[in-house]
Structure 1
């Protein structure tokens, strides 16, 4: 009986520790936000080797002569970021100043890197994007979009009326698109090789389809989005921009590519989009290449927790949702896609290759 009581006490203590942890884990996000806004990874990287806090502070001051950086504050923020393995701390054996270096995590915060998550971190941790997370309770009680509760407009209308928000939001989407496209092109070569034509439905200004066509020049690429979106699209060799509405019709091609599109829509709307995709591709050899998060409730992989964060991110910002494989299968079957392949990627997302027969 005594052992049982001891185990119960230990379990309760662990439970208390976990509540404290989750109550305050936003501190990780805010420390990361500070690191991104101060360009700490870039400062360290520009020196080519680990540097001291005073050197970091001097670089912050040099970039903004009117500032007077508080080293004591910086020290405390860096201490947590080192504990989280965002940066590394090197303690000289001679007792000199601690030197701070990059880790595999902070390399993703380098703004000039071809693959960077710094714009996404800046966007998602901006107060405009954080505010909707504080509105979940009201959304549960009364319905509605948390973003609209927080700002009075949905995210798309807010972006159209706020150039600053629109700018950093688009930068964030562009940076994550590069990361995802790099993963796709590293894994899915065979999936593109057999195609003569490919339409990126909801392709924005054409960045993704242009990367695919650049890697596979034999493909005739179509970037398909709303007319006002493609009106600002640049010219890409091998890519044709076509304006239209995916809820009405889709250009006829061998295959359709959709990256982070369906998670913005409810199940009924997804079925409608996919039905239009089915009409646009050959019945025997056509396919739809869907790039989305696939939730795994038992998953223990590197990205599995982040996928559930992403589901709540969609709730907070677009009222969209992420789905499990079973939920994707249900939608695909209802839209007339009887077969699919799930192809994992070295990324947050997977490829769902769907066939009409």
Structure 2
């Protein structure tokens, strides 16, 4: 009889898990609504916990009659998810005071380090459509769900839709700041003895500019497609060079190459091509490639290990053949590209640093 009870308990737990994962999108949508309503910003601007009435009084003029009951139900879930705190106001009204947590402080729009733009980007309905195409990707053998949902790849889509391009750039910019801060904090001595540094796929140059600011003796080169660097602002100690990382003769000669969140956008074959071209641009004995990207730990219990697996699915949703990689996958790819040695350096972020050496 006892065994049957245990079996029933396990079966019930299995059912509960299916419900939980089936409806997990509700967490994302509740989080999105809080960011759109700027609830973290409102609480932060008052510098103390607020009631729902006080929060809604700070909504913009386009919200003349907010539904406080609806908001309370959203906040109830977000409190359970530890996005906000909730406690009685201590008065006769019986109202609840809502405060910030370490999580909601990452949702402040005007903070130097914020994930609010990334929340709005990843929960946008257009960018969520590809997630519905995963089963087609499996059956038809083409991994890019974005093309199935929208008939073209994400880069072409963004070139045709300026509003989505801005949404994407805002999301990438906020995560880049967070990653760069973690890298410059955790990569002690990594740029010592580097006289020139090329940021391959560096966009408008903000990342290499941050490095040069901290290491002013480095000559920084921002390398990206000509139309990208054409609109790049001037940075002290940084020059912009237009070219194609798939063209072996384009990458400027340098002591070291830096690539942040580039490899995960491309297939293994494309990454090997890029890395081979990087190898040609650095010294045989003293050169190195510094890659900032996710190193998957499928069975890990680290703070970001679960998110890494989700990011890998994000690559199916949005990238053309991109993927996140385990250490063994990185090792194989680096060896094929002519980098027999590598070192993985953990930093306080979702990404790690992979130093690759040609000898």
Normalization by structure 1: what TM-score? 0.97
Q: Secondary structure of 2:323's partner?
A: coil
Pick closer, same or farther for the CA change 1:66–1:52 going to 2, 3 Å.
closer
Counterpart position of 1:280: 281
Which of 71, 76, 84 is the matching residue for 1:74?
Answer: 71
Distance 1:237 1:38 in 2: 38
Distance 1:73 1:48 in 2: 24
Pick closer, same or farther for the CA change 1:135–1:201 going to 2, 3 Å.
same
1:230 aligns with 2:209: no
Deviation at 1:66, TM superposition (A): 5.0
Task: Spell out the pairing of 1:35-74 with structure 2 (5 A cutoff).
Answer: 35-60=34-59, 63-65=60-62, 67-74=64-71
Q: Secondary structure of 2:62's partner?
A: coil
Per-residue CA deviation, residues 80-111 of structure 1 (Å, 9 max, x unaligned), is 00000001112134453211110000000001
Q: CA RMSD in A?
A: 1.0
Deviation at 1:3, TM superposition (A): 2.5
Q: Secondary structure of 2:331's partner?
A: helix
1:244 aligns with 2:259: no
Per-residue CA deviation, residues 106-144 of structure 1 (Å, 9 max, x unaligned), is 000001111000000110001011111111112222233
Which of 87, 95, 100 is the matching residue for 1:90?
Answer: 87
Moved more, 105-114 or 148-157: 148-157
Deviation at 1:46, TM superposition (A): 0.7
Deviation at 1:150, TM superposition (A): 1.2
Per-residue CA deviation, residues 222-279 of structure 1 (Å, 9 max, x unaligned), is 0000111111101111001000111113111000000010111111111111111111
Distance 2:61 2:230 in 1: 38
Which of 119, 127, 130 is the matching residue for 2:117?
Answer: 119
Normalization by structure 2: what TM-score? 0.97
* Unmatched tracts of structure 2, length 5 or more: none
Counterpart position of 1:294: 295
Counterpart position of 2:24: 25
Distance 2:15 2:345 in 1: 40
Per-residue CA deviation, residues 278-334 of structure 1 (Å, 9 max, x unaligned), is 111111110000001011111001111100110000100113100000000000111
Structure 1 ranges of 4+ moved more than 6 A: none
Moved more, 141-150 or 244-253: 141-150
* Unmatched tracts of structure 1, length 5 or more: none
Distance 2:83 2:193 in 1: 41
Moved more, 345-354 or 84-93: 84-93
Distance 1:216 1:67 in 2: 52
Q: Secondary structure of 1:192's partner?
A: coil
Counterpart position of 1:131: 129
Q: Secondary structure of 1:309's partner?
A: helix
Distance 2:228 2:332 in 1: 31
1:7 aligns with 2:6: yes
Distance 1:183 1:268 in 2: 29
Deviation at 1:67, TM superposition (A): 3.8
Deviation at 1:75, TM superposition (A): 0.3
Q: Secondary structure of 1:189's partner?
A: coil
1:341 aligns with 2:340: no
Number of residue-to-residue matches in the alignment: 354
Q: Secondary structure of 1:291's partner?
A: strand
Distance 2:287 2:271 in 1: 18
